[in-house]
């Protein structure tokens, strides 16, 4: 939205260069013309797909990694940030996809002491525009559709105060035995 506003503002400021006044010198008109061209180039650069490409994905994104969830100790919480799929016109959206893979324990237990089975895993998807916020759709688990998770430097903090703390290692015992390569990314 802000990009569109900037584009319109830049183009609007230079439109008076297209109106010719016979009393002005040629150099003044030329200066106005190049002002418009420069403004248009800036507007195109602001809206370019390069901005979408500048969003960090994979290990370079701070959200990517394994986490401890105090509400489900020892349970799988893995976050992966990947590039958004291409649009039909070949451009990339101005956000990255956030995939969260998790396991909450068997039979309603809150603590995980055993390895999950593949069919016990859940997956939540959301997006981030870079920066320190991810918007996650927990509706598949009965939660909110646009839950905001904020990166605070050591983990993800949710509006209810719950904080998933990022781990410096990838705990293999939290993954299904038949899916030990889950560290390469969720399904």
Instruction: Check residue 178 and give its pLDDT.
Output: 79
Summarised one tens digit per residue, pLDDT across range 75-98 is 999 999 999 989 999 988 889 999
When pLDDT is cut at 50, 70 and 90, the band that residue 45 belongs to is: very low
When pLDDT is cut at 50, 70 and 90, the band that residue 4 belongs to is: low
Instruction: Check residue 106 and give its pLDDT.
Output: 85
DSSP notation for 85-110:
PPPTTS---SSEEEEEEE---GGG-S
Helices (H), 47-80: 49-53
Name the DSSP letter for residue 44: H
Summarised one tens digit per residue, pLDDT across range 99-129 is 999 999 888 788 999 899 999 999 999 999 8
């Amino acid at each position: 939205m802000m990009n569109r506003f900037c584009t319109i503002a830049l183009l609007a400021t230079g439109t008076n260069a297209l109106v010719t006044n016979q009393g002005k010198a040629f150099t003044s008109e030329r200066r106005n013309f190049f002002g418009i061209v420069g403004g248009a180039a800036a507007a195109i650069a602001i809206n370019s797909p390069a901005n979408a490409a500048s969003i960090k994905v994979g290990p370079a994104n701070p959200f990517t990694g394994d986490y401890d969830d105090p509400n489900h100790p020892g349970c799988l919480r893995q976050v992966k940030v990947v590039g958004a799929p291409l649009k039909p016109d070949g451009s990339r959206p101005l956000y990255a996809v956030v995939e969260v893979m998790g396991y909450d324990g068997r039979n309603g237990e809150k603590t995980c002491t055993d390895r999950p089975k593949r069919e016990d895993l859940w997956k939540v998807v959301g997006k981030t525009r870079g920066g320190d916020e991810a918007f996650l759709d927990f509706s598949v688990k009965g939660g909110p559709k646009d839950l905001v998770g904020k990166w605070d430097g050591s983990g993800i903090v949710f509006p209810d105060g719950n904080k998933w703390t990022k781990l410096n290692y990838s705990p293999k015992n939290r993954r299904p035995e038949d899916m030990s390569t889950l560290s390469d990314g969720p399904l």
